[in-house]
Chains A and B, each alone.
Chain A
Amino acid sequence: MSQPTTLQPPAASATQDAPRTGTWDGGNEPFKASYGKLMMWFFLLSDAFTFAAFLTTYGLIRHKHEVFVGKAEEFVFSTRWWPVPDKVFNAFPGLHGMDVPLGFVALMTMILILSSVTMVLAVEAGHRMDKNDVQKWLLWTILFGTTFLLSQAWEWSHFIHGSEKGMLMADGTTFFGANLAVNEYGPVLFADLFFFITGFHGTHVLSGVCLLVWCFIATSNGTFHKRGHYEMIEKIGLYWHFVDLVWVFVFTFFYLV
């Protein structure tokens, strides 16, 4: 390797030139976000694509199936057409036999949205370095998240046990409810997608609750207070809001459309 001769710098100007210092010029955080928060954002972006793939799957498969044409009163469950959500999800705990279309899931949704509100309050309390308020709002969030999970468990178990009518099978027996291979409400893929997508979302909520419990313990131990900031709560909060937002889409696709 031939080496060029050493350059003798000309008499350097007396002034010291400094590197540029604009927003994107390096040496700072262009989004005013720490690396941890940025990572959470990018993780959520990627997770959004995971859910988008599932919801696209839902859309395409639903599009492949027939739609029930006719009056709502005349609708009956059949494997020939995609079921009407109002008729599948019309039960409410304690109100046996009453027709409450989407009543319970609306309540669940409200609880989850409320948990986002309490999460915001926890983050806000963290900004004020108010340990007691952080604990209080975290507890509320954990409570709402757990309630959502339990409600989902009830919704699933109702879906699995099925209606009183059931579905007549080819071998003459009657099948009640739904699992991954048979579904009295309609095409089997309705049940597959329901279990898979709400299950995947539920897993996210469960992870979120676990993270919140961990945050609560760390807050109680004063870990964040000693650290001088509650940014961890903020990061977990981002995740929590994301999971809520995903539910809004899942709710829209499965129950409303």
Chain B
Amino acid sequence: MSDMAAKPNLSPGVQTQGGIGTAGVPATEHGDHLHHDDHEHHDQHWLWKYVFSQDHKVIAKQFLISGMIWAILGGTLSSLFRLQLGWPEGSMEWLAPFLGKWIVAGKLNPEFYLALVTMHGTIMVFFVLTAGLSGTFSNFLIPLQVGARDMASGFMNMLSYWFFFLSSIIMFASLFIETGPAAAGWTIYPPLSALPQAIPGSGAGMTLWLVSMAFFIVSQLLGGVNYVTTVINMRTRGMSMSKLPLTIWAFFLTAILGILSFPVLFSAALLLIFDRSFGTSFFLSDIYIAGQALSNQGGSPVLFQHLFWFLGHPEVYIVIMPAMGMVSEVLATNARKPIFGYRAMIGSLIGISLLSFVVWAHHMFVTGMNPFLGSVFMFLTLIIAVPSGVKVFNWLATLWRGNIRFTAAMLFSIGFVSLFISGGLTGIILGNATLDIQMHNTYFVVAHFHLVMGSSAFFGLFAGVYHWFPKMFGRMMDEKLGYIHFWLTFAGVYLVFMPMHYVGIAGFPRRYYAWTGFDAFSQFADLNRFISIAAILAFFAQFVFIFNFFYSIFRGRRATQNPWNSTTLEWTTPVNPGHGNWPGEIPAVYRWPYDYSKPGSDVDFIPQNVPYSKTQSSNFPYEQDAVE
């Protein structure tokens, strides 16, 4: 405690800018967490301060920057296979210096095409939108918004990042081995993934993929138990569950989903490792390969799909729910209105979380699963439209007649709602087993999930970075560049995925390396080229963001303490909070996080740590009762 209070300009009760100060509000933190203050050492070596740091804010930035590196890589891979899809007859000789032997006689090696698609999916889903998104913002925002000095266990939090780092290194290394990285799709269905002799990409690349994912799951678990425990045990005084910002609810439920679903992927990966390396037959039966009958008997590849999608479906909510939480927060702040239907928003998040565990087989309508089972999963799947609809209408109602400030974060949040609606509607189509059987192997599915979970989650990520950048780095990102980034990306995403829905519904198949040999598909050559151009341009637009991000860290306009006039606790910390977050005592919480434009109040936001006794003019009768 003492060493923190000694820091300059961090006197307790700093006035929130333009708002109501925390001065005079007594807040003693609970004794159990006092030991977290021990983390603060002035003479820390830089290695412990910036590399093996246990400060949740530093770990969050580590996740963010790793996620950005992975995103650039994942985007590059997609540009490469979009080149192939857009110009299937074109020469790729110019890529030979970069791709080496994967360019054969001026053409992309078909095996490598599969590897590109596989790694693009793996990187984007796990390394960017799981680790990079919830790893960044759960770490950054949970302690700051619930009013805690740090995560429950800073050490395990650090381990979580370094397991992720190890997993990243292994996955990255797999890109450069001779037989190429894993190539059985990001869903690694056996038997293709279970037989090292099947294709080059099911050899060493697949082994590295599985090892990397095992470490990734450990990292997720270490992070997840920390997030959940922190939210349960470390909330500041007065921060009841019904006063938590929606971000925290989203991160909390996301972490629970991760804790319950990732271990099942771990099981599946372990069984697959045994099938590949130790001769077991869990997923293998009756296989002839290269004219030879394998001895494996009795296993079931569909079993793997069940295990995989038991993770795989919650995983898409692990990806989208943090984005939903952050978007709710950004929309309310920048519409200067309370979030519409706060409790319904929590309820729908819980509903989505529960439902996410009982819909996995809608990914498997074409596996030969019992059709009755299919109809059960169809029914459960379509129910998800209800909580999703609740969320969408609540976002729209929050915007309705709001006093909207079009910050870059706000634009991306509105863009998120748009993409979520567009992509969600096609989900209702695909959730129907009968329609899915028709669409399943077309680009319609690709377009659907890229809009609803891929691009949407990216928009949530961007909204989060633009919004919380001032808290992360003490400076503002450039708004103009933010606008350019938004419009290029927003237009780009729709220009890519709208035509893709069209070619998909017209029957254009997924996973084909070369499609020009089929008369039925060659009429889509122009559209495919259009999609490719749009995708590559949208990818390059992201460098505007990258530039803005790094430029602003060093040269951005200096941030004020509460630049968005927001109500949540993170903005009561100093501009550059040290380890421990609050220089003095942790503020206590008296009100919900959405007191924007409250009737009777002179200011259009009242922070959570302002007691009702200071806002007599705007108190509702029941709030007035609390002032006793």
Contact = CB atoms under 8 A, between A and B. Distances in A.
Contacts of A26: 146-147, 235-240, 243, 589
Nearest to A65: B298
A38 interface: yes
Given A27-B30, A46-B262, A53-B307, A7 B240 contact: no
Given A17-B628, A38-B229, A39-B152, A7 B601 contact: yes
Nearest to A19: B238
B610 to A, nearest CB: 9
A138 B118 CA distance: 49
Contacts of B590: 17, 19
A61 B615 contact: no
Interface stretch (A104-112, A185-193, A235-243, A244-252): A185-193
Contacts of B245: none
B597 to A, nearest CB: 10
Contacts of B344: none
Contact of B263 (A16, A22, A53, A64): A53
A45 B259 contact: yes
A98 interface: no
B405 interface: yes
B572 interface: no
A188 B152 CA distance: 46
B613 interface: yes
A253 interface: no
Contacts of B232: 29-31, 38
A36 B230 CA distance: 10
B115 to A, nearest CB: 28
Interface in B260-278: 260-264, 266-268, 270-271, 274, 278
B564 interface: yes
B271 A47 contact: no
B375 interface: no
A6 B261 CA distance: 48
B228 A42 contact: yes
A127 B226 CA distance: 26
B241 interface: yes
A7 B602 contact: yes
Contacts of B542: none
A192 B282 contact: yes
Contacts of A192: 274, 280-282
B613 A13 contact: yes
Contacts of A39: 152-153, 156, 225-226, 229
B78 interface: no
Contact of B614 (A9, A50, A180): A9
A25 B616 CA distance: 23
Contacts of B297: 79, 187-189
Contact of A189 (B147, B299, B626): B299
Contacts of B243: 26
* Interface residue SS majority, chain A: loop
B260 to A, nearest CB: 6
Contacts of B270: 200
A46 B153 CA distance: 18
Given A19-B588, A27-B238, A30-B233, A1 B310 contact: no
Interface residues of B, number: 80
Given A38-B232, A50-B267, A196 B280 contact: yes
B603 interface: yes
B613 A196 contact: no
Contacts of B402: none
A43 interface: yes
B617 interface: yes
Interface string B14-33: 00011110000010011010
B103 interface: no
A52 B282 CA distance: 16
Nearest to B295: A181
A31 B234 CA distance: 12
A243 to B, nearest CB: 15
Nearest to A192: B280
Contacts of A5: 18, 602-603
A17 B627 contact: yes
B300 interface: yes
Contact of A12 (B267, B279, B614): B614
Nearest to B602: A7
A57 B237 contact: no
Contact of B298 (A52, A53, A64): A64
Contacts of A16: 26, 613
B229 A43 contact: no
A18 B28 CA distance: 11
B305 to A, nearest CB: 12
B492 interface: no
A181 B153 contact: no
Interface string B584-611: 0000111000000000011111000001
Nearest to A55: B267
B190 to A, nearest CB: 13
Given A3-B565, A19-B238, A64 B300 contact: yes
B581 to A, nearest CB: 15
A59 to B, nearest CB: 10
A254 interface: no
B467 to A, nearest CB: 13
Given A7-B19, A17-B627, A180-B279, A50 B264 contact: yes
A42 B226 CA distance: 9
Contacts of A15: 613, 627-628
A24 B589 CA distance: 13
A173 interface: no
Interface string B140-173: 0000001100001100100000000000000000
Given A16-B26, A54-B267, A180 B225 contact: no
Contact of B237 (A6, A10, A25): A25
Nearest to A11: B616
Interface string A70-108: 000000000100000000000000000000000000000
26 contacts: A3-B17, A7-B20, A7-B601, A13-B613, A13-B616, A15-B613, A19-B588, A26-B147, A26-B243, A26-B589, A38-B225, A38-B228, A38-B233, A39-B226, A42-B259, A43-B225, A47-B263, A49-B267, A53-B264, A60-B303, A61-B282, A61-B298, A61-B300, A188-B281, A188-B296, A189-B297
Given A7-B20, A45-B259, A200-B270, 16 more contacts: A4-B19, A9-B615, A10-B614, A12-B614, A13-B613, A19-B588, A20-B238, A25-B238, A25-B239, A26-B243, A34-B32, A35-B153, A46-B262, A189-B281, A192-B274, A196-B274
Interface of A: 1, 3-10, 12-13, 15-22, 24-31, 33-36, 38-39, 42-43, 45-47, 49-50, 52-54, 56-57, 60-61, 64-65, 79, 180-181, 187-189, 192-193, 196, 200
**7 closest A-B pairs by CB:** A19-B238, A27-B237, A53-B267, A26-B239, A26-B235, A35-B152, A50-B263
